[in-house]
């Protein structure tokens, strides 16, 4: 059991967390033909777009209602209406994802009422799905906005239908990169099951060249697939933050679910594959049995370098949970854990304490560690403390390949073992040379 603490500082110094609207945009980008629309000032959208472009190194479709000082005072209904009509005319999205920002949340715009009024005035919008999610960026963090968006998607878009015994729904949290989603989908397919991933970043932000330029997302979960979710036989929620969306599907369609907080250690992967085997009636394929043996050998090869190492972590709660369990399974010890927002997982972490704080807190707590794990904003701290850094989370802007990175499944965990083990090995060799 971990003690969860929140520093009583009057201001955040060197912030760790990203905003809820950014998390919402990231989730929306996993749907095909999507145009995320921020209801707020142009600066809110520009900041989110820069962060996403730097991390993925891809063109990111993102739009804004462009609120000004005057429209903020008088009300944003006209801006929302004009933004939607312009997007329909110029971009022709299959879905529009509308999320609020701190500006419009503070003002208190009645977004549900605004959308109802706009649809009454424009019957041509009747068949256009507009998914609204409330994402105030003065509270919560990226994970909260991402989770709220997935829950809004599964509440508004699926339709009921006859159960398909070979179809499951994957609810994928912000802790999973596009490469992770691709690996998970391949595993599910090898059991003869069809997976509808929500959202599916492996088809939109995996780093591929399209034949033509699109003003909306060119890949991801289609609207037709989203409609069919109500026919799934089971829901697999990947990450604790997806529990709310899984409960929503159970409430609406009676679909049972299971939550897997992590797929980044041996026990968790075993449980996942056993669950798929029970669900499909297909035994675990030979290739995964072989991959498991490879991972076991990798664990034997690397555990000498992990044992008793002090590691400090700065990341979102879902990712923190999986990383802590991965490190402890290898004999490493967590010296400090700093996260961005509240989560039911935190108190159950098998460490002494977790701090909901900023990177100033992290720098103070991490001094003397053998390794730091966090996003690229931790790099400056790593240089000051002269401690190696493994980049994990969002954003990562000083390394390539974030769209393809995979740290789940037997293969992904094996690569993670080698990457971290090599950092420890280099550290030991440098001490010997000195």
pLDDT tens, N- to C-terminus, the chain (434 residues): 899 999 888 888 899 999 999 999 999 999 999 999 999 999 989 999 999 999 999 999 999 999 988 888 877 899 999 999 999 999 999 999 999 999 889 888 889 999 999 999 999 999 999 999 999 989 999 999 999 999 999 999 999 999 999 999 999 999 999 999 999 999 999 999 999 999 999 999 998 888 778 899 999 999 999 999 999 999 999 999 999 999 999 999 999 999 999 999 999 999 999 999 999 999 999 999 999 999 999 999 999 999 999 999 999 999 999 999 999 999 999 999 999 999 999 999 999 999 999 999 999 999 999 999 999 999 999 999 999 999 999 999 999 999 999 999 999 999 999 999 999 999 888 776 65
What global pTM score does this model have?
Answer: 0.96
Would you say 249 and 257 are in contact if contact means Cβ atoms under 8 Å apart? yes
101 in the same domain as 25: yes
For residue 184 the two structure tokens come to 């998970």
Position 4 in a domain? no
Which residues, at least 6 apart from 353, have a Cβ–Cβ distance to it below 8 Å? 2, 3, 4, 5, 337
Q: Is 241 left (phi over 0), alpha (psi -120 to 50) or beta?
A: alpha
Task: Tell me the pairing of strands 34-39 and 371-374.
Answer: unpaired
pLDDT of residue 389: 98
294 in the same domain as 280: no
Would you say 44 and 38 are in contact if contact means Cβ atoms under 8 Å apart? yes
The order of strands in the sheet holding 95-100 is: 63-64, 34-39, 95-100, 130-133
CB atoms within 10 A of CB 277: 15
126 in the same domain as 42: yes
Q: No. of H helices and E strands in the chain?
A: 16, 14
For residue 268 the two structure tokens come to 């968790």
Would you say 52 and 60 are in contact if contact means Cβ atoms under 8 Å apart? yes
Give the C-alpha separation, 295 to 92, whole Å. Answer: 46
295 in the same domain as 412: yes
pLDDT of residue 428: 82
> Which of the listed residues 77, 108, 139 is the one where a domain comes to its end?
139
Position 314 in a domain? yes
The residues pairing with 169 across neighbouring beta strands, listed in sequence order, are 196, 235
Using N-to-C axis directions, what is the helix angle for 77-90 and 111-121, rounded to 10°? 50
> Which of the listed residues 80, 107, 139 is the one where a domain comes to its end?
139
Residue 226's H or E segment, with its range, is helix 223-227
The residues pairing with 333 across neighbouring beta strands, listed in sequence order, are 310
Position 5 in a domain? no
Position 393 in a domain? yes
Give the C-alpha separation, 101 to 49, whole Å. Answer: 14
Task: Tell me the pairing of strands 194-198 and 310-314.
Answer: unpaired
Position 149 in a domain? no
97 in the same domain as 162: no
**What separation in angstroms does the CA of 429 have from each of 30, 308, 366, 385, 423?**
42, 17, 22, 18, 10
Would you say 343 and 364 are in contact if contact means Cβ atoms under 8 Å apart? no
181 in the same domain as 196: yes
CATH number of the domain that residue 189 is part of: 3.40.50.1980
227 in the same domain as 308: no
Report which DSSP code applies to 285.
Answer: P
Give the C-alpha separation, 421 to 344, whole Å. Answer: 31
299 in the same domain as 245: no
Would you say 25 and 47 are in contact if contact means Cβ atoms under 8 Å apart? no
Which residues, at least 6 apart from 358, have a Cβ–Cβ distance to it below 8 Å? 9, 12, 13, 14, 15, 16, 17, 338
297 in the same domain as 277: no
425 in the same domain as 298: yes
pLDDT of residue 11: 87
Which residues, at least 6 apart from 159, have a Cβ–Cβ distance to it below 8 Å? 227, 228, 230
Using N-to-C axis directions, what is the helix angle for 142-156 and 243-253, rounded to 10°? 10
Return the closest-CA partner of residue 375 out of 15, 9, 12.
Answer: 15
Give the C-alpha separation, 204 to 218, whole Å. Answer: 6
Give the C-alpha separation, 328 to 350, whole Å. Answer: 9
Would you say 348 and 371 are in contact if contact means Cβ atoms under 8 Å apart? no
Position 226 in a domain? yes
268 in the same domain as 298: no
Give the C-alpha separation, 312 to 381, whole Å. Answer: 12
Position 422 in a domain? yes
Query: Structural domain of residue 341, as residue ranges?
Result: 288-433
pLDDT of residue 96: 98
**Residue 393: phi, psi to the nearest 5?**
110, -155
> Which of the listed residues 221, 252, 285 is the one where a domain comes to its end?
285
Give the C-alpha separation, 198 to 200, whole Å. Answer: 5
How many domains is the chain partitioned into structurally? 3
Give the C-alpha separation, 24 to 152, whole Å. Answer: 10
312 in the same domain as 276: no
Q: Read out DSSP for 251-279?
A: HHH---EEEES--SSHHHHHHHHHHHHHH
Would you say 148 and 234 are in contact if contact means Cβ atoms under 8 Å apart? no
Q: How many residues does the chain have?
A: 434
Position 245 in a domain? yes
The residue assigned the tokens 């500082």 is 9
């Amino acid at each position: 059991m971990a003690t969860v603490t929140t520093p009583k500082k009057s201001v955040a110094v060197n912030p760790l967390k990203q905003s809820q609207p950014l998390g919402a945009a990231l989730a929306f980008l996993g749907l095909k033909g999507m145009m995320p629309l921020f209801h707020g000032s142009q600066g809110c959208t520009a900041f989110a777009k820069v962060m996403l472009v730097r991390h993925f190194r891809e063109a990111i479709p993102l739009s804004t209602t462009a609120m000004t000082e005057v429209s903020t005072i008088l009300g944003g209904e006209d801006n929302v209406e004009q933004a939607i009509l312009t997007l329909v005319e110029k971009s022709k999205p299959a879905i529009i994802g509308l999320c609020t920002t701190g500006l419009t949340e503070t003002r208190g715009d009645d977004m549900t009422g605004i959308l109802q009024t706009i649809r009454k005035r424009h019957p041509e919008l009747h068949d256009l799905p507009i998914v609204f999610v409330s994402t105030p960026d003065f509270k919560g963090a990226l994970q909260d906005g991402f989770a709220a968006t997935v829950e809004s998607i599964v509440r508004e878009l699926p339709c009921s239908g006859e159960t398909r015994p070979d179809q499951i729904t994957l609810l994928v949290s912000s802790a999973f990169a596009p490469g992770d989603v691709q690996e998970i989908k391949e595993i599910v397919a090898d059991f003869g099951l069809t997976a509808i991933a929500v959202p599916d970043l492996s088809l939109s932000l995996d780093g591929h060249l399209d034949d033509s330029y699109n003003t909306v997302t060119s890949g991801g979960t289609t609207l037709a697939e989203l409609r069919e979710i109500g026919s799934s036989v089971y829901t697999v929620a990947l990450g604790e933050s997806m529990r709310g969306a899984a409960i929503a599907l159970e409430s609406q369609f009676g679909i049972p679910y299971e939550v897997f907080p992590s797929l980044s250690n041996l026990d968790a992967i075993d449980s996942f594959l056993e669950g798929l085997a029970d669900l499909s009636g297909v035994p675990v394929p030979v290739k995964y049995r072989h991959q498991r043996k490879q991972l076991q050998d990798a664990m034997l090869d690397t555990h000498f370098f992990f044992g008793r190492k002090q590691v400090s972590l700065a990341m979102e709660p879902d990712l923190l949970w999986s990383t802590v369990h991965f490190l402890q399974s290898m004999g490493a010890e967590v010296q400090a854990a700093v996260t961005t927002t509240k989560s039911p997982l935190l108190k159950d972490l098998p460490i002494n304490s977790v701090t909901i704080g900023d990177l100033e807190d992290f720098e103070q707590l991490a001094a003397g560690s053998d390794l730091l794990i966090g996003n690229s904003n931790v790099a400056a701290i790593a240089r000051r403390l002269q401690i190696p850094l493994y980049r994990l989370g969002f954003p990562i802007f000083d390394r390539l390949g974030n769209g393809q990175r995979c740290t789940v499944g037997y293969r992904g965990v094996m690569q993670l073992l080698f990457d971290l083990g090599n950092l420890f090995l280099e550290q030991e060799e440098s001490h010997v040379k000195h």
